[in-house]
Structure 1
Amino acid sequence: MNITIISVGKIKENYLKLAIDEYSKRLSKYCKLEIIEVPDEKTPENASPKEEYIIKEKEGDRILKYIKDNSYIITLAIDGKMLSSEDLADFIKEQGLRGNSHLTFIIGGSLGLSKEVLSKANLKLSFSKMTFPHQLMRVILLEQVYRGFRIINGEPYHK
């Protein structure tokens, strides 16, 4: 299985980098992982809706350059479908059985994802109705994908 994570923005905090490195190392046992960072746009304070739209479009254009045609696209969106850890494991396993051996997860910037990126999604996935910083979301996503592979393989995991 190939897993690609396309994420807007760089990870600045060292503790997040360490967590990402740790889960990346753990996941190497189960899949080929690629993490792609695209630059974020500076959002002015009190940005108008038009300015926000333009920012999402610019970030979206950067994301779209990295989406591979043969990949199953999962966008992280607050209005997406919520799954339990077990459901996510079942989903990953099912995609592999269906021949979708390349999953691409997309994490937007602070304003979310452009309509064009969202329209490419085979699945919109939500981790919560809460909002998380996109840098932290990368760690949460990696942990859940790792947990999913542990569940798929019948290995112990913390419940």
Structure 2
Amino acid sequence: MKVSLIAVGRARAPYLDDLAHYEKLLRPYVKLEQIELRDDADAEQVTRRVPDRAHCVLLAIEGPARDSVTQATWLEERRASGRDLCFVIGGADGLDLPRADERVSFGPITLPHQLARVIVLEQLYRAHRILRNEPYHH
């Protein structure tokens, strides 16, 4: 499965190390592409970068939150569908993305957008470990 992570804004230290860490951990499970867009990128610019047949997930505070086991089950359903997966994280002002197949939230807290990127990758890694009944200690 190919997973794209589209983020408005560039990753900077200290998040770069964490992103690289989870990208390495995910290599056995998915082909990951991280795409960074300018801070002022709008929905049209983001939409052009979403792969054609990918299931598009917009991170948005108004979306439902999932626990890790539910996220793993959801991931298995996406994998069984045969479609690639694309996560989109908007900029500081958020993003309305009509192209999104669904919205999901990490809860009602406000996170730095760079940290949200790390959490997306960490949750993908955790979900794959859960699906394989492997221990998770990272």
**Structure 1 length-normalised TM:** 0.83
Identity within the alignment, %: 38
The residue aligned with 2:89 is 107
> What CA distance in whole angstroms lies between the structure 1 residues aligned with 2:103 and 2:58?
5
Match of 2:108 among 110, 129, 132: 129
1:52-91 correspondence runs (5 A): 58-91=41-74
1:20 equivalent in structure 2: 19
- How far off is 1:19 after superposition? 0.4
Q: Distance in 2 between matches of 1:12 and 1:18?
A: 9
Which among 113, 119, 133 is matched to residue 140 of structure 1?
119
Q: Which runs of 4+ in 1 moved over 4 A?
A: none
Unaligned runs of 5+ in 2: none
In the TM superposition, what is the alpha-carbon distance from 1:61 to its structure 2 partner?
A: 2.2
What amino acid is aligned across from residue 65 of structure 1 in structure 2? R
Contact kept? 1:75, 1:125, Cα under 8 Å? yes
Unaligned 5+ segments in structure 1 are 42-57
Q: What is the Cα-based RMSD across aligned positions, in Å? A: 1.1
Q: Which amino acid aligns with 2:60?
A: A
Tell me the TM-score normalized by structure 2: 0.95
State how far apart, in whole Å, the 1-side matches of 2:68 and 2:104 are.
12
Return the index of the structure with the highest Cα Rg: 1
Structure-2 residue corresponding to 1:2: 2
